[in-house]
Amino acid sequence: MKKQVTIKDIAKLAGVSVATVSRVINGNGRYSKDTEERVLRIIKEHNYSPNMLGKGLRTNKTNTIGIVVPDITNEFFARIIQEVEKNLFRAGYTTLVCNTSENPELEKRYLEVLNLNRVSGTIYIAGDTRVKHEEPRGIPAVYIDRWPSTTRKDIVFIESDNFEGGRLAAQEMLKCGCRRIIFLTDERRTSAHQSRCEGYIRAHREFGVVPDERFIIGLSEISFDAAYNEVIRLIDNNVKFDGIFASTDWLALGSLVALESRGIKVPEQVKIVGFDNISISKHCSTPITTINQNVTQMGELAVDLLLKLIDGKEIDKKYYVLPVELVKRSTT
């Protein structure tokens, strides 16, 4: 049986210390370019893989990052995870993805699992506001998209400009002459959805239109079926509306199909704007006008900030709002 190559073997072959090999593996600097290239070449030639479990036991942490996501089937969240994993892999980290399925008990359990697994840090998209988020044992964390339920005021948080997105969405329909715009949102009013609602209200006021509170409708789940059933209910109850702002693209698609099933023409009779710019919004039968979020920038920034926290570096700014843009398509 072939003997497994150790870090000491790599150091000897490269003519450097074990500490230097470790610094090259972890990208911690303090070595020349020639040394880095020589060490990496020898590592590749001998197919050397660091014993991360052993390192974790010695340092009380591993080169593993926990990613907590409320719904991995949601393309918006899946795209963020993809960007985060790609950038973490480049930095020498592996990931442990925890899909909570919007379940508060499962979310709590995953927090315990990540702590027990000695992760180096977490990137967190909060699911349920009933789950209290406190960083265990000083594990660094970066939060994305939804403000978590926490007593801390100094958390690192990244979100899109949801207020501006809501304003742009409603503004687009108001410019087209809509005056009775339904807003379909999450009944839990997570921070992102609440900000979109505030933007929707602001746009109405800018156009001198008083928004009807009855048109702000919270759904028990964010899904195609929930939107479809709600729009059918509105139509069957003779509620008069000429626009729908859906706080996700799946809600927009459910609304579109419901309208078409009742013979209501889009955009001639009712206009629709979604949010997230997932692939379905572009490729459905009537491409949906939507609000684009920059998931590439969000993922890169989250990883950059988390790695700085892990290295003990100071972060001057802890709250980031990323710009959004309106993508006009056939539904308006």
Q: Is pLDDT larger for residue 205 or for residue 20?
A: 205
**pLDDT tens-digit map of 17-27:** 888 887 787 66
Q: Of 128-137, 199-208, 303-312, where does mean pLDDT reach its minimum?
A: 128-137
85 has a pLDDT exceeding 90: yes
Tokens 């929707």 correspond to: 200
pLDDT for the residue numbered 250: 96
Asked if residue 70 is part of any domain, the answer here is yes
Convert the pLDDT of each residue in 225-264 to its tens digit. 999 999 999 999 999 999 999 999 999 999 999 999 999 9
Q: What does the alpha-carbon distance between residue 154 and residue 11 come to, in Å, rounded to a whole number?
A: 41
Q: Are residues 89 and 18 in the same domain?
A: no
24 part of a folded domain: yes
How does residue 152 score in pLDDT terms, banded at 50, 70 and 90? Answer: low
DSSP state of 4: P
288 and 170 co-located in one domain:
yes
Q: Are residues 90 and 198 in the same domain?
A: no
What integer pLDDT is reported at residue 91 of this predicted model?
86
Q: Do 39 and 182 fall into the same domain?
A: no
Q: How many domains does the chain have?
A: 3
The rounded distance, in Å, linking the Cα atoms of 247 and 22 is 47
- Among 49-63, 152-166, 257-271, the minimum mean pLDDT is found in 49-63
Same domain (yes/no): 126, 176:
no
What CATH number does the domain containing 31 carry? 1.10.260.40
Q: What count of other Cβ atoms lies within 10 Å of the Cβ of residue 90?
A: 10
Q: Would the pLDDT of 57 be above 50? A: no
Tell me what pLDDT residue 134 has: 58
Q: Do both 122 and 166 map to the same domain?
A: no
Q: Do 229 and 268 share a domain, yes or no? A: yes
Residues 174 and 287 in one domain: yes
What residues contact residue 138 under an 8 Å CB cut-off, 6+ apart?
none
Whole-number pLDDT of residue 246: 98
Contact 156, 122 (CB under 8 A): no
Domain co-membership, 166 together with 286: yes
Residue 182 included in any domain: yes
Is 329 contained in some domain?
Answer: no
The model's pLDDT over 206-231, given as tens digits with 9 standing for 90+, comes to 999 999 999 999 999 999 999 999 99
Last residue of a domain, one of 18, 33, 50: 50
Please report, in angstroms and rounded to a whole number, the separation of the first and last CA atoms in the chain.
67
Quote the CA–CA distance of 300 and 68 in Å, as a whole number: 16
The pLDDT of residue 129 is above 70: no
Residue 174 lies in a domain: yes
**pLDDT-based confidence at residue 127 (cuts at 50, 70, 90):** low
Highest mean pLDDT among 5-19, 148-162, 213-227: 213-227
pLDDT at 94 over 50: yes
- Is the residue at 222 inside a domain? yes
pLDDT score, position 2: 60
Decide if 332 is inside a domain. Answer: no
Tokens 């990323």 -> residue = 322
DSSP state of 199: H
279 and 319 fall within a common domain = no
The verdict on 150 and 175 lying in the same domain is no
CATH number, domain containing residue 130: 3.40.50.2300
Q: DSSP state, 214?
A: G
Same domain, 216 and 239: yes
Give the domain range for residue 44: 7-50
6 pLDDT above the threshold of 50: yes
Question: Which residue has tokens 């660094």?
Answer: 140
